Amino acid sequence: MVREIVIYGAPVLREKCVKVEQVSREIEELAADMVETMYDAQGVGLAAPQVGEAVQLAVVDIGADRDDVTFVRVDGEDVGLSELMPLIFFDPEVEGGSERESMEEGCLSIPELRASVRRPAAIKASLSLLDGRRIQLECDGLLSRAIQHEVDHLNGILFIDRLSSAAKLRARRELKRMFG
């Protein structure tokens, strides 16, 4: 079922989400709905607070063919993107590498606004999956970017919080124009 996407200004987008810990039927349904909602909105990622649920669950699908992703490793083994997408994960812990890069980001909860955000280029992440596994994922490119963006959501952080001060001013003006 496609759920309604919560838009900028909703308090739930600023909440620190609680851990999932135990996969219930409700969590499985929420995850399935989130994947459907993400595809429906043509996004590459969606976090549970974006559909009004303040739990540490997120989904990502960047497609299987991305030149900017130069490596994807699960528990130290190389894997193809097609094996991993859609990636549904909960209770993540993410560590960014020291090299940083700028990439343009948008957010389904902040329609029409896009801006360049500086983040670690590569990450190491511990992610829990619905099948009970806890995996160590290492990757770069858009996959690294999307995971960092979604994990921020689980901590009540939006990409506009991570802009340079000049870009933040521009974004604030835009947001004011759009949301009053």
Binding residues (CB under 5 A) for Zn ion: these are 107
User: Which of residues 107 and 121 has its CB atom nearest to Zn ion in the complex?
Assistant: 107
Note every long-range contact of 122-127, with CB atoms under 8 Å and residues 24 or more positions apart, other chains counting: 122/96, 122/97, 123/94, 123/95, 123/96, 123/97, 123/147, 123/148, 124/94, 124/95, 124/97, 125/92, 125/93, 125/94, 125/95, 125/151, 126/92, 126/93, 126/94, 127/87, 127/89, 127/90, 127/91, 127/92
CB of 22 to Zn ion, least distance (A): 26
User: Which of residues 2 and 75 has its CB atom nearest to Zn ion in the complex?
Assistant: 2
User: Which of residues 81 and 107 has its CB atom nearest to Zn ion in the complex?
Assistant: 107
The residue with its CB nearest to Zn ion is 107
Active site residues: 150
CB of 107 to Zn ion, least distance (A): 3
CB of 101 to Zn ion, least distance (A): 18
User: Which of residues 23 and 167 has its CB atom nearest to Zn ion in the complex?
Assistant: 167
CB of 80 to Zn ion, least distance (A): 25
